[in-house]
Structure formats: C-alpha cells, structure tokens
Amino acid sequence: MDNIQTLDQLKNKYYGEIGTPERDRLENELEALRIGYKIRTARERLNLTQEQLAERVDKKRPFISKIENDGENITLRTLFDIVERGLGGRLKISFEF
C-alpha cells in the first residue's frame, strides 16, 4: 500500500512540477482534451449529430470532430459560437494565478 501515488505525484515525477515547461505543456493538452470532451458530451445530451452542430455554427462536420477529439487551437470566438449558438449554453472562463 505504500506504493500508491496520486495522479499529481505521478505527473510531478514524470513531467516535473507545475510551472516547468514540460508540465505546463501537459496540463494545457489535458485542458484541451477536457474542452473537446465537454463539447461532445453536451452535443450528445442534446441528441445532435456533429453535422447538425456544424450547421448551427457555420462550420463543417470534420471541424467539429477535430474539436471534440482535440480541443487545441480553438479560438475563443469559435468556442463561444459552439457553446452558445450551437449548444444553447453559456460559456464562463476563469483564470487562476
């Protein structure tokens, strides 16, 4: 039982402490994946296809697929459009320092 480590301990061991370049890169990639997952989950909850969501935000289906599988490189304007216009939600952004 002494070998049990938390996820943060494992990330510290393999990627460095928070604030190091490698760890920051990992955390940013994970956040991008979370964004894509949240979009896909909301779309499925609304029983929308990727094609239907794409039409609502004037994009193509492959674009929605890419966002859902890797939310990286999405602009804030596009994120607002997908969440608010496409999914009928409200986007809130917060910062931590």
- The CATH number of the domain where 68 resides is what? 1.10.260.40
Q: pTM to 2 decimals?
A: 0.78
In total, how many domains does the chain have? 1
**75-90: per-residue pLDDT in tens?**
999 999 999 999 999 9
Instruction: Classify residue 54: in a domain, yes or no.
Output: yes
**32-77: per-residue pLDDT in tens?**
899 999 999 999 999 999 999 999 999 999 999 999 998 778 899 9
Q: What is the residue range of 25's domain?
A: 16-86
Question: Residue 1: what pLDDT?
Answer: 58
Give the 3-state secondary structure of 26-79. HHHHHHHHHHHHHHHHHHHHCCCCHHHHHHHCCCCHHHHHHHHHCCCCCCHHHH
